[in-house]
Structure 1
Amino acid sequence: MADRISAKGTATSTPFPFEQTSTQRSRRDFIDTLDATIQPPVYETQPQFLPLRMNETLSLKPCTPAPGEILVFRFRSQWQRVSAHDSAQWLTQDETRRAALLPSPALRYRYISSRAVLRLAVARMLGCEPDAVDLRDDAKGRMFAQDATGDAILCADIAYAGVWIMLGISASHLGLGTSLPSYKMASDDEPSPPSRVSSQISPPSDSLLFSKQRARDNSLLSAAGHRSAIDHSALAPSEPAPALASASRGESWYVFDLPMPGQLCASVCSSTPLSTILAFGWSKRNDA
C-alpha cells in the first residue's frame, strides 16, 4: 500500500509492520452460556510502527490496506479538522437518534466525532465523500465500512481511552481494546520514601499488568466478535505466558500493544499477522 499519503506525509512508501510479545494470564468475570473459549492470541515479532500527525488523515490517498496493514487513529473529540456542521451532515438518521439518547453532551459529542472522523478516513481511502460511507455491523457486532457501490469493504473498530477517541481500519477483522489501571491511595500505615508524599496516588504493579492484559483481551474479544473466556489462571499476574499459536473457531489472532500516555493501556488485534501500523495522532509533532 505504497504512496498512501501525499508528499507532505512522512511515510509514503514504507511497508506496515507487526509485533507480538509475551502475554500474561487473567480470568474474565463475564462469561455466559453462549461464550466459547478463545485461546490466548499470538505475540510475535514487532511490526513496523509509523507515528504520524492526526492532520495527515486529510492527506490519505485512495488505497486498500494490504494484509497485515492497520491504520489506527488517536484524537480528541475537539479535533477541529471536522466541523460540527459536517459531523451532523455525515451521520445517518439512526446514528443521530442514537446520539440523542446518550445521557450527557460529552458522550454525545464523543459518539458523533468518532463516527464522523471514521467516515472521513474511510472516504479518503475509498475515494468517495464521507456522507457516502456506509457503516454496518455484522451478526457478531463487528463494524464494516463501504462506499455506496459496495465494491470495497473495510473492517473498522472504535474504542475510547480517557480523553482519546481511537479508530482502527484494516482489510481484515480487527479489534481495539483499552483499559485504565485502578489506583489506590497509599496507606498512612505504610512508610513512604522521603521524596514521596504519603498520600501519593499510585497504581500497583499487578494492577498495571492486569490492565495491559485486559486491553489485550478486549481487543481480541472485539476482533472475534463475541464475548468469550480467556482462562490464564495457571500463571501469576507477573509471569509471562509463552508465545503460542491460538485459534478461535478456526481463526488465529495477533495482538500489538499500542503506546499510550500515562497509565492508559491500548491494544489492537488482527486476524492476520501484523506487518505495519500507520498510527495517526501518535507523532510528537502532532497538531490534533
Structure 2
Amino acid sequence: MRREKHAHVLDELAIPRHLKQHPVYRTPGLSFQPLPIARAALPQRRLPEPGELHLWRFRAQRHAGLPEDSPPIVSRVEQHRARRGPSSALNRRYLTGRASLRAILSRMLACPPEHLQFTDRPDGQPELLHPLPPRQLSIRIAYAGIWILIGMGASEFGISAATPSGHDPTRGQQAWPPADAADANDASESAPADPAEAQDFVRRSSAAALCKRPSADWLPRLVAQNGAALIAEESSGNYLHVIDLPMPGRLNAAVAMREPVSVIRAYGWCRN
C-alpha cells in the first residue's frame, strides 16, 4: 500500500502544470488518472471494469508496453493491409498501433501476442476473436498526425483524434486504411481548420461511432457540458456521453460512451 501511494505521488509530480489545467481533472464524477507509458510495460492482468476506460497514448515511433529493442509483432494479414496504405509513414503508424495492441492484450489475457486473432469491423476497428475475453471488451484505435491512441472498455465506446487541418503534418496524405474500407480511425483529414470547430468535430465524431448510421453529413448534436464531460443527442433522441481528453499542441481528442464512465486510466499522459 505504501509503495502504491508513493507511485501515485510521483505520477502527480510528473504531470506538466499546464496539463493539470485541463477541465478533465475537475469534472465531477470522473477520476482521470494520468500514468507514464512505462507503467504499461508492467505485468497487467486486469481488463477494464464496467464504468472504466483504459487509454494509451504514444508516438508512432515507439510501441506501448514493448521494450525499445523488441521486433514488431503483427500478423501476415496486418502486414498485407499495411502494404496497401498510401505512404510508408502511415503504414508504419498502423503497424505500430497493432503491435502495441497485441503487446498490451497479451499480458491482460496471458496469451502470446502472436497467438491473438483479430478481425476488422466495417469501420476498420479491431475486434478480438481469440482468445475470447472473460467479459465484453471493446477496442478502439485512433490516429492523429504522429500520435496513436488505443482505448479499451467493458462496453462500446467511440474515440476520435485530430489536429485542425491547417496544422496537421499528415495533411495532403490519404487517411489510412485505403479508401475501399470505411475508416473511423483517423479524423485528421476531415477536421476543420478552426481550432474550436476542430474540437467540436472530434467530439461529435467520437459520438457518431456509436450511432447506427453515422454520416459525414450528420453528426450528433452537443446539448450540454459539465467540465470535460458533454452530452450529445442522436437523431433518435437518445443521449451519448462525451469526454474531452488532454492532448499536446493543437491536437484534439475525445471519447464517447452510451453510459458515463467514472474512471479513465490514461497511460502516456505524464512523463516516465
Number of aligned positions between the proteins: 220
Structure 1 runs (4+) deviating above 3 angstroms are 6-11, 80-86, 137-143, 149-153, 223-226, 240-252
Q: Which residue of structure 2 aligns with residue 269 of structure 1?
A: 256
Q: Which residue of structure 1 aligns with residue 183 of structure 2?
A: none
- The aligned runs of 1:202-281 (5 Å cut-off) are 207-224=194-211, 226-228=213-215, 229-230=218-219, 232=221, 241-242=223-224, 246=233, 252-281=239-268
Q: Name the CA distance, whole Å, in 2 between partners of 1:75 and 1:64.
A: 20
Shift of 1:223: 3.6
* Greater helix share, structure number: 2
Structure 1: runs of 5+ lacking an equivalent:
12-20, 22-43, 185-205, 233-239
Of 127-136 and 245-254, the range deviating more from structure 2: 245-254
Confirm or deny that 1:144 pairs with 2:127.
Answer: yes
Q: Compute the RMSD of aligned alpha carbons.
A: 3.2
Q: For each residue in 1:97-153, what CA deviation from the matched residue of structure 2 results, as whole angstroms up to 9, or x when unmatched?
A: 011122222112111100010111122222222122222234565532354355454
Q: Name the CA distance, whole Å, in 2 between partners of 1:221 and 1:133.
A: 28
Alignment TM-score, normalising by the size of structure 2: 0.69
Shift of 1:7: 9.3
Q: Is the contact between residue 207 and residue 220 of structure 2 (CA under 8 Å) also seen in structure 1?
A: no
Structure 2: runs of 5+ lacking an equivalent:
10-22, 168-192, 226-230
When Rg is computed on C-alpha atoms for both structures, the one with the higher figure is: 1
Shift of 1:58: 1.1
- Identical aligned residues as a percent: 31
Q: Name the CA distance, whole Å, in 2 between partners of 1:69 and 1:125.
A: 15
Give the one of 68, 93, 97 matched to 1:114. 97
Bigger relative contact order, structure 1 or 2, given CA contacts below 8 A and separation 6+? 1
Amino acid at match of 1:174: F
Change (3 A) 1:8 1:110: farther
Change (3 A) 1:8 1:142: farther
Shift of 1:221: 2.2
Shift of 1:251: 6.3
Change (3 A) 1:71 1:127: same
SS of equivalent residue, structure 1 residue 103: coil
Alignment TM-score, normalising by the size of structure 1: 0.65
